Amino acid sequence: MNASSPCTEISSQLSALFVCSPHDSRVRVRTPFLYPDGDVIDLYYSTNGDVRTLTDLGETVRWLRMQTLALRRSPKQRQMIDDVLMNHSVEFFKGMLIVRLGAADRLADAVLRLGQACLRVADLWFTLRTRAVESVTEEVADYLTEKSIPFDRAKKLVGRSGREWTADFHVRTPDASSLVCVLSTGSRAAGRKIAEHVLATWYDLNALSVGPQPLRFLSLFDDTMDVWQPEDFSLVESVSDVARWSRPDEFEGMLRRAA
């Protein structure tokens, strides 16, 4: 198949909104689809013997990753990506979304299928934007479940003052038992109030951190949004361990480590 064949096929089977042009050793298909920020979704077609491949060259996942400081996708987000790929019969390989075409497959159908998959994956950005509203605690719960770490949600305890406080998680591992408060907000102005509330929680529950079966206090900051000031971390560091949600492995280590 010569370099003009895929362009001829696309122009005859799709509208003029799809623009085809040579690009290095591939053929670039500029689609009318857009990422949420307005960037155009480009796809790339190549042949290797009898194998025909259409891919986004990893741009969709790269775009999604650049929208957040988080170094990992949550289990829920990974499941959503897997569902999109399965529904559109698209593969995920080395960060790229790929469609492999058989001899009888129409290139136009593959372009539409892969373009739609790129759109759906990029739309996960909206779940990232509303994470603080929907509560990152759901992601933490998914993570603990994935790691087979037992936990209770919304653990209520009474402090020295007689007031009842709620920790987001009571986590139990063979070597430690921890209370976890998740600090998450999309507003920098609200960050200080949240930190002060967690400080008051740990201060009033302080008696639970000593004795024959002490509880570890752990403040988990959702730092995937740039809203926290150094002073917010300092407030709770004096009364609890501090973890960052962008470093989930460190968070897990704290939960499993003996006090």
Distance of alpha carbon 102 from alpha carbon 52, whole angstroms: 7
CB 219 within 8 A of CB 251: no
CB 96 within 8 A of CB 55: yes
Q: Which of 209, 204, 193 is nearest to 241 (CA)?
A: 209
Burial class (CB in 10 A: 0-12, 13-18, 19+), 164: exposed
Q: pTM above the 0.75 mark?
A: no
DSSP state of 215: P
C-alpha pair distances (Å), 60 with each of 46, 118, 164: 18, 6, 46
C-alpha pair distances (Å), 238 with each of 31, 195, 203, 231, 241: 54, 12, 10, 12, 8
The beta-carbon contacts of 14-19 under 8 Å, at least 24 apart in sequence, are 14/108, 14/111, 14/112, 18/111
| pLDDT digit string (tens) for the chain, length 259 residues | 444 477 777 766 676 788 888 888 889 999 999 988 788 999 999 988 888 999 999 999 988 877 654 545 666 677 888 999 999 999 999 889 999 998 888 888 999 999 999 999 988 776 655 554 457 888 899 999 999 999 999 999 999 999 999 999 999 998 889 999 999 887 777 888 899 999 999 999 999 988 778 899 999 999 877 789 999 999 999 999 999 998 999 999 999 986 5
Beta bridge partners of 97: 92
CB 160 within 8 A of CB 202: no
CB 169 within 8 A of CB 152: yes
Tokens 């003029």 found at:
16
- The token pair that represents 245 in the structure block: 């949600």
3-state secondary structure of 54: strand
Q: Domains (ranges, CATH) in the chain?
A: 4-129 (3.30.1460), 133-256 (3.40.1350.10)
